[in-house]
Amino acid sequence: MGAQWKSKGKELVANAKGKLFSKLAKEIMMAARNGADPASNARLRLVVEQARKASMPKDTLDRAIKKGAGLTGEAVNFEHVIYEGFAPHRVPLMVECLTDNLNRTAPEMRVLFRKGQLGTSGSVAWDFDHLGMIEAVPAAAGADAEVAAIEAGAQDLEAGEEEGSTLFLTAPTDLDLVSKALPEQGFTVLSAKLGYKPKNPVDASTLSAEQLEEVEAFLAAIDGNDDVQNVYVGLTTG
């Protein structure tokens, strides 16, 4: 299922415009802590590009930048936290949250993990690679993904989530560098972020239809939580 899980009901959950904009606004506010100018703030520049591609209203985007940079007088106290554990049938996952209240998020995660298993820090992370993930599509005739990966400095590549797209994988520190270099190789960047790629994913074909439904329902509930930004799951259909 790729580096980041996408459920059948994704459009009804995390891809609903309101929830998507809420996630992006949090990312923008966090990034803007290091400066409100995308030109000199690489992390902010990447998130702003994602927000524009998602058609986030300009007023919403500008407000998030100003709030994160402390220009509105409002405090931004989001904390980044990762929960590790297993979905039903020992499917490993990493749940990335941005929360303004750990006393709310932590018990909610414990409840959501009841049908699986919530692990301690490091209990599952060892089975995932922390990488830069850049999804891009050819913008020029003859653009070659393998050549582009080499020239831009990516570590690896695989098929992306969007049809015809390529997912370029980088070292975390090279994310901005490679995302800037790919357009020079004839590719348009759709998204660029840090994420987790499973090393030893469970093959979905080893699960029964009923078991897979249990996993899907569990993941949909996790992904539906307001504090959850991303869900990375060790499950593959290939």
Whose tokens are 């459009």? That residue is 11
When computed from its CA atoms, the radius of gyration of the chain, rounded to whole angstroms, is 18
Distance CA 5, CA 145 (A): 23
> Residue 236's beta-bridge partner residues?
203
Distances (CA, A) of 130 to 76, 118, 195: 26, 20, 6
Q: What is the pLDDT along the chain (238 residues), one digit of tens a residue?
A: 444 555 544 444 445 677 888 889 998 998 898 889 988 888 888 889 889 888 899 999 999 999 999 888 887 788 899 999 999 999 999 999 999 999 999 999 999 999 999 999 999 999 999 999 999 999 988 899 999 999 999 999 998 888 889 999 999 999 989 999 999 999 998 888 889 999 999 999 999 999 999 999 999 999 889 899 999 999 987 6
Contact 118, 145 (CB under 8 A): no
CA dihedral 138, 143, 149, 152 (to 10 degrees): -90
Residue 175 DSSP SS3: helix
At residue 163, φ and ψ (nearest 5 deg) are -60, 130
Q: What is the pLDDT of residue 20?
A: 83
DSSP state of 167: E
pTM here is 0.81
Sequence-distant (≥ 6) Cβ neighbours of residue 183 within 8 angstroms: 139, 189
Q: What is the pLDDT of residue 1?
A: 45
Angle at 97 between CA 64 and CA 202, to 5 degrees: 135
Query: What are the chain's domains?
Result: 10-68 (1.10.10.200), 79-126+200-236 (3.30.70.980), 128-198 (3.30.70.980)
Distance CA 45, CA 116 (A): 37
